Amino acid sequence: MIADAPLSLLAGFAALGGAAIGSFIGTVLVRLPVERSILTGRSACDSCAVPIAARDLVPLLSWLALRGRCRACSAPIGVWQPGCELAGAVIGAMAVLLAPLGLAVPAMIFGWQLLLLAVIDARHLWLPRALVALLAASGAVWLGWQCWQTGTLAPLWAGLAGGALGFAMLWSVARGYKMLRGRDGMGGGDPPMLAAIGIWVGPMVVIGTVIGASLIGMAAALLALLARRPVAADTALPLGSLMAVAAWAIFLVAGHG
Ligand SMILES: [Zn+2]
């Protein structure tokens, strides 16, 4: 137990940091689609526009204390903001507790970026190019770090192979669908997103990511059918969100390869 104490302490700190990052992700989620500045300007209630006081900006705790309602007008705040904060905290803690040795920090950096892309895609069916590019760039830094650590170029080749395979797989599926059906069946941001994921995880995990995302998508469609929600062949699923969840889960337990 004593030996476990530092790890649980680290996980606690990672969860706190993750909640704060999740709070920022919630802000980006609200502001990016309406092109408001992300770094300046105070947060305000979506309903009454009253600025939110500092004491009401504590991740998760404020939402719980206010029971999910604005202090000024009692309008529901919604679950996206606390959801992002909770997910950010869980990613931080799980990266410390579950990631293979030496992968905790990359798992966090990878996970928080995927969380941001996943929530934007889930809410808007949109994968902003700049954020996908950031995921790819941070993946390249991670590859460089691994090359330096191992003294070989093998991680670089794996990352390039993963990126190329990820893009080619989804691009060819999208082309095939368009040739058969005469319309787009996939968001244009999906192939670049899987390419960016591939840089991080390598070709084997890219394949696992596609399989995992398909399984989660099918499970979600099945649940929707059971709940008697309408599901059609062209009901849009946020493929980017599904890939984000699958890729991070596999990275967390298996690392990259
Ligand atoms: Zn309000």
Instruction: For residues 17 and 86, state if they share a domain.
Output: yes
Centre of ligand 1 from the C-alpha of residue 240, in Å: 32
Contact 56, 71 (CB under 8 A): yes
Residue 153 CB neighbour total at 10 angstroms: 12
Centre of ligand 1 from the C-alpha of residue 30, in Å: 15
Centre of ligand 1 from the C-alpha of residue 73, in Å: 4
Instruction: For residues 92 and 144, state if they share a domain.
Output: no
> 1 pLDDT exceeds 50?
no
28-65: b or e for each residue (b if 16 or more CB lie within 10 Å)?
A: bbbebeeeeeeeeeebebeeeeeebeeebeebbebbee
Instruction: For residues 184 and 226, state if they share a domain.
Output: yes
Instruction: For residues 132 and 176, state if they share a domain.
Output: yes
Instruction: For residues 154 and 246, state if they share a domain.
Output: yes
Residue 101 tokens, joined: 């040795």
Close Cβ partners of 235 (under 8 Å, ≥ 6 residues apart): 221
Q: Note the Cα 138 to chain centre separation in Å.
A: 14
Split into its structural domains, the chain has a count of 2
Centre of ligand 1 from the C-alpha of residue 68, in Å: 11
Centre of ligand 1 from the C-alpha of residue 63, in Å: 13
Instruction: For residues 89 and 142, state if they share a domain.
Output: no
Instruction: For residues 48 and 89, state if they share a domain.
Output: yes
Residue where one domain finishes, among candidates 55, 79, 98: 98
**Which residues are placed with Cβ below 5 angstroms of ligand 1, an ion?**
45, 47-48, 70, 72-73, 75
Question: Using CA atoms, how far apart are residues 57 and 49, in angstroms rounded to an integer?
Answer: 15
Sign, Cα dihedral of 54, 57, 62, 63: positive
Quick check: is 58 in a domain? yes
Q: Note the Cα 176 to chain centre separation in Å.
A: 27
Instruction: For residues 81 and 192, state if they share a domain.
Output: no
Instruction: For residues 81 and 179, state if they share a domain.
Output: no
Residues of the domain holding 185: 127-257
- Cross-strand partners of 51: 44
What are the pLDDT digits (tens) for 67-110? Answer: 999 999 999 888 999 999 999 999 999 999 999 888 999 999 99
Q: What pLDDT band is residue 227 in, cutting at 50, 70 and 90?
A: confident
Centre of ligand 1 from the C-alpha of residue 134, in Å: 34
Quick check: is 107 in a domain? no
* DSSP-derived secondary structure letter, 69: B
Question: Using CA atoms, how far apart are residues 18 and 59, in angstroms rounded to an integer?
Answer: 10
What are the pLDDT digits (tens) for 33-62? Answer: 887 777 777 788 888 888 888 888 889 899
> 122 pLDDT exceeds 70?
yes
Q: How much is the average pLDDT of 203-221?
A: 94
Single pTM value for the model? 0.92
Close Cβ partners of 222 (under 8 Å, ≥ 6 residues apart): none
Quick check: is 114 in a domain? no
